[in-house]
Chain A
């Protein structure tokens, strides 16, 4: 591809019906661009986990993806409650998910660890009361 590609989707809070649609869109775009199945898979996992966190914890927000020659950057931005203790939040098993999310199969406290595992760069910028930004980058050449 010659031009960088930018995709953006709004994600609604607590909408379990529509949740995942944005991620599927991002994934379909990456596939269409001819990226390898392993890159598409990693990007899909990151995007979907980040989207579900927007739905469940972040009060909704926005999913964005930037694709260029070398990498795909995926960002999830919200103006929700923020994460008081990031160290704790990225540990496997830590969750504050409520009953509704658990009934749907979420709340294992595995989302952020999954994101981290699949990303070459993983950054969380968060402030209590102001919101959370999760930024990840996958490099095409590292990650097969």
Chain B
């Protein structure tokens, strides 16, 4: 799915980088509110879904070349956060849905986890 498809599934709107959404393929996602956790477990190419909105979210995304970030629960980041993302070419989208709902819907739509630990039996 592209970021544009993902945004459509969860009714997200763009905060910056709207022109890029259709061109970015996102196979996986990681959802987390801890930066070190993201740095440890977010695999290459995965998008980030988070409830935090401070500027370090974008720094973390920059560090890992995260292709896009979604903010949940309608929490809008401050302008400096959006500006840094825009300058770094990282699309930001925002949805009114909760983290739980977003993750459930995207998982059902085929977005994969960063590491899959389902038991076989």
Measured CB to CB, the residues of A under 8 A from B are 16-17, 19-21, 23-24, 27, 37, 41, 44-45, 47-49, 52, 103-106, 108-111, 113-114, 117
B63 in complex: contacting residue of A20, A103, A108, A110, CB < 8 Å = A20
12 A-B contacts (beta carbon < 8 Å): A16-B55, A19-B59, A24-B59, A49-B36, A49-B39, A105-B33, A105-B35, A105-B50, A105-B60, A106-B35, A108-B37, A114-B40
Assuming the contacts A24-B59, A110-B37, A110-B39, asked whether A105 and B64 have C-beta atoms less than 8 A apart, the reply is no
Chain B residues 42 to 58 lying within 8 A of chain A, measured CB to CB, are 44, 50, 52, 54-57
Q: Tell me the interface secondary structure of chain B in the complex.
A: helix
The size class of the interface chain B forms with chain A is 20 to 34
Whether the Cβ atoms of A105 and B63 lie closer than 8 Å is no
Measured CB to CB, the residues of B under 8 A from A are 33-37, 39-40, 44, 50, 52, 54-57, 59-60, 62-65, 80
Interchain CA distance A49-B37 in the complex, whole Å: 11
Scoring B34, B54, B56 by chain A CB atoms within 10 A of each residue's CB, the highest score goes to B56
